Amino acid sequence: MMAMKQQVVFLILALSLVYVRASAQVRVSQMWCEHQATPLSVGVPQPQLSWQLSAPQRDTRQTAAEIRVALSQEDLVRGRKLVWASGKLSTAQSVDMLYAGAPLQADQTYHWQVRVWDNHGNVSLWSTPARWHMAFLSPADWKAAWIQPGFEELPSRPSPLFRKEFQAKKPVRQAMLYITAHGVYEAHINGKRVGDACLAPGWTAYQVRVPYQVYDVTDLIASGSNAIGVMLGSGWYRGYMGFQDKNDNYGSDISLLAQLEITYQDGTRAQVVSDTTWRAATGHIVSSEIYHGETQDARLRQEGWTQPGYPATGWSRTRAAGLGYEKLVASENEPIRRHETFHPVRIFKTPAGDQVLDFGQNLVGWVQVKATGKAGDRIFLDHAEVLDKAGNFYTDNLRAAKAEDQFILRGGGEETFEPVFTFHGFRYVRVRGYPGELTPDRFTAVALYTDMHTTGSFACSHPLINQLQRNILWGQKGNFLDVPTDCPQRDERLGWTGDAQVFASTAAFNMNVHTFFVKWLKDLAADQRADGAVPFVAPNILGQNAVASAGWADAATIIPWQIYQAYGDRELLAQQYPSMKAWVEYMHTQSRDHLWNTGFHFGDWLFYRPQDDNDGMAAVTDKYLIAQCFYAHSTQLLIQTAQVLGKTEDVTTYTALLEQIKSAFVREYMTPGGRLVSGTQTAYVLALNFDMLPEALRQQAADRLAENVRRYNTHLTTGFLGTPYLCHVLSRFGHLDLAYELLLQESYPSWLYPVKMGATTIWERWDGQRPDSTFQTPGMNSFNHYAYGAIGDWMYRVIAGINPSPEAPGYQHIIIRPQPGGNLTYAQATLDTYYGRVVSHWELQEGRMRLQVEVPANTYATIHLPGAAAQAVSEGGRPLEAVAGLRPGTPAAGARVLEAGSGVYRFEWNITQ
């Protein structure tokens, strides 16, 4: 009996040891190829592979990794027939490891796994298999022809339908659809929608780059007879875009390219390609324009047209478009998809007698309608962001955009309508012609935006700041539809470079915008002029002379560097370096004696102008002073990029140039005493943020900036270019309290004024709606315009204290430096990086400060404990000195600084004032 008890005890101990070892085991928790989880259109010969470690032990780092890749999951997990077996690699790299196996083949799926070793002697199990699919790698891979409808098009440009029947003669192992269009498309196979992308293929510099998408349609293919149907809309390619009521910006054609690659279970293959055997007709979408909306007539719906056996009576032949494949590129970013849905929070009649739905949130997308009525009944939906002072439906700020959807009923029962090839920016919808009572269950607003995963969160003890953060996030969602638009509602919706560059860093906290900006920056470079001038908008439909405004064109240098800091993507810097260098060289050639004081510039767009300016309080900043600041900043970023890429000659050349640019600034725009010729907030902010002043004169300039802010009764006066850096400069130069006062200011002009006025997104103007509820000029007054939301960067970096390190970008080295103020009692932020989740959560209570920090595996952090320089600090309830793994960092004024590896830390100390 004793022996049996001993055996049981031994077994329990053994199992406990196994459990303890398993619980301490490092594992691979997430994997990405080309920064996506399961990409289907990888178009590069050496994809970048990334993975995330999860480990309960503190200070866990990867010391080695092994990768294997195979053509089937079965071969992969058995470790046989591998196309890449890396062997054990002594490396800490877990982000953007380049594939280094056998050459990859087009239209082929690859399965991969990774396992890692850590610094504690643990080795992970092989990860759960992941996969990626290679797109076409050369024009020769295309066998399909571009096709167009064979019938004469009506002036209203109804959406054409294309269809083709085909046979699947054997059991199917895999079927992949490669598809794109001149215009936008929606595809179906056997009556089922292909994928869930909206408005594909998106908007690019079509004259150079036409993206195609790849869909796994294996589950949609039936044995025997099948049918594929594709519907097209004008979209960005030939629809009305820009300011001059102009369409056909890239061409007047509407064309389809589709290639279905079928692999049977026995390994044989078949293709279904777009060609002149396809048939075409029109259907229920009578007209569709991005600005003006969509008209659908259900009486014209071709029921069953995407099913096999459909008679297709009266359908015409298609014709070959004669277009090539050289411009085709595999999609590398996430598509636009449907996201949140909303029902009306109230339905009411305005003083003017309109029936209006209020969805409670300014959003971008469309409204789905359910209705029962007679054949020919027309339902009209008009879209607006705001109500006027009297409470009436207001659309003057949409300018020429009609933003109206029309649905014509077929009759005979309940019908459901929603647009396909348009989108609107709205909170309110006016309904006309609805057959019956308006009830919330009959109307659903659908939010559309690029499928970026939310990565950041921010909250604090101030409810208005929390609403501001929500407004910033919704401004980003509404304007990140394949390109970073300025606004989503009026006759504009363009990829303004200035708006994008001021907001890119904030955007990268809120959501994963990595591939979004990789794609858009390629369009910017494609539209960049041969002389290096960068357009106002990308893609550029405003013309070859709409270029080179300071602070706008600098998106070419600023955004690549910011995305590199956020994600550590060195390949992006290499991709964009020629564009960055060309832009700096353009400024160089336009300068005289290293002073860039020529050309058109928007300046500090929409800066503060009081209605009654008799006292000269308008904050006008010299546009050439601004240009010189951005000239220096772009040159500095080019130097830093050249250092990363090992371009030592360029580092030497542009370092010398930068010195001359700054000297020219001092000569032209600064008095000997350090006063700037423009005494505005923006002038001082840019000069200080970009280090334009001699170091000995910077603090007095910052003090002058603070003086200016107080002269305006603690209000900002900055426009698009000064606002992003205002609080950063104040907090950097010892005016943290003033930065908080500006953030918490509730009267105009301020960030919280729109919040107090009921805004649910960021406004274009500080006073888009005045305190008396009247509006700013309708010619330019968007209520969803994210530029001023750039304050979010300061909220994440300074209030919560989460920062990437320039020396180890992508949050491989994290700097946690919260700076409490403004009577906030707590602030918390999270950020999901490629390494894992970063957390900074502080709270103040009765003279004590608590700080919780989470550092992901395979990273390390420098943690600043504010006000703890001379205080006893505990971590996890133990004196700091008794906690292993925490090392003293470089001392900083007023704070204790620690170096820490991965793990969750809970610090507490008495706060000094």
Q: Which residues are catalytic?
A: 492, 764
User: How many Cβ atoms sit within 10 Å of the Cβ of residue 713?
Assistant: 8
- CA distance to 467, 839, 864, per residue, from 802 (Å): 20, 8, 11
The count of C-alpha atoms lying within 13 angstroms of the C-alpha of 215, restricted to the half-sphere facing its C-beta, is: 22
| Cα 69 to Cα 180: distance, rounded to the nearest angstrom | 29
Which residue(s) pair with 391 in the sheet? none
Q: What is the C-alpha separation between 456 and 471, in angstroms, rounded?
A: 14
Distance, CA of 496 to CA of 552 (rounded, Å): 8
Give the dihedral sign, CA 793/798/799/803.
positive
395 contacts 384 by C-beta, under 8 angstroms: yes
Angle at which helices 681-689 and 723-732 cross, to 10°: 70
Q: Which of 427, 351, 355, 358 is nearest to 390 (CA)?
A: 351
Q: How far apart are alpha carbons 77 and 74 in whole angstroms?
A: 6
Phi, psi of 468 (to 5 degrees): -60, -45
H-state helical runs in 452-530: 463-479, 497-510, 514-527
Q: Which amino acid is at 391?
A: G
Residue type (1 letter), 327:
K
362 in Cβ contact with 488 (< 8 Å): no
Torsion angles phi and psi, residue 455, rounded to 5? -115, -25
Token pair in block for residue 187: 């595809």
- End-to-end Cα, the chain, rounded Å: 68
What separation in angstroms does the CA of 595 have from each of 493, 516, 624, 663? 34, 34, 9, 9
Residue of 244, 253, 306, 318 whose CA lies nearest to 280: 318
> Are 370 and 416 in contact, with CB atoms under 8 Å apart?
yes
Q: What is the DSSP string of 644-696?
A: HHT-HHHHHHHHHHHHHHHHHHHHHHB-TTS-BSS-SHHHHHHHHHTT-S-GG
